[in-house]
Amino acid sequence: MIVFEYLGKMKAPKGFYGAKKLRFKLRYWRKTAIQNKVTEMAHYNGISISHIVARNTSALAFDGSGYVTRNPKKDIVTFATGKVYHADLSASYNIGARYFIREILKPYPERERLSIQAKVPELAKRTLQTLSSLISLHLALEPTALVHSEV
């Protein structure tokens, strides 16, 4: 399985004009071309592709401590707890966690999903899901898995 951030509705921020707006568009088109090529190769080799919501994947700390602050080069992030990590590593943890959360919750009926969200409130909004949300979901589902296996 290959998981991508969904970049379909990405627009240039306000205040971008002239050459700056053109550079933004060219970078976006390049990202799209790379994703299209990877998708084509994956389908050829029988690998599945999935897209997740891109919002806050790199802005949130994977340990659930909240938003991060970045250095001027934008490659290193500092969590609210003081931990320092690479920005892409933190974002990739969050991207993977969002995919697994979606796949874990998919087979449950709506009523059970809502009871799980009551136990793990950060699951209610997909843009706030992190690796710590996946860990909390796993802990919340552990007792129910034992109940289902006994029946």
Token pair 């109940």 in the structure block, residue: 147
For residue 147, is pLDDT > 60? no
Domain range for 139 is 2-150
Q: With pLDDT > 90 as the criterion, what percentage of the chain qualifies?
A: 36
Residue 10: pLDDT band with limits 50, 70, 90: low
Q: List, in sequence order, every residue forming a beta bridge with 67; answer none if it has no partner.
A: 60
Q: Is the pLDDT of residue 61 over 60?
A: yes
Given a cut of 60, is residue 71 above it in pLDDT?
Answer: yes
Q: Is the pTM of this model over 0.75?
A: yes
Give CA separation, 107 vs 93, 110, 117, 133, 143, in Å.
Answer: 23, 9, 14, 18, 17
Average pLDDT over residues 32-56: 89
Q: Which of 53, 56, 59 is nearest to 87 (CA)?
A: 59
Q: Considering its fold, how many domains does the chain have in total?
A: 1
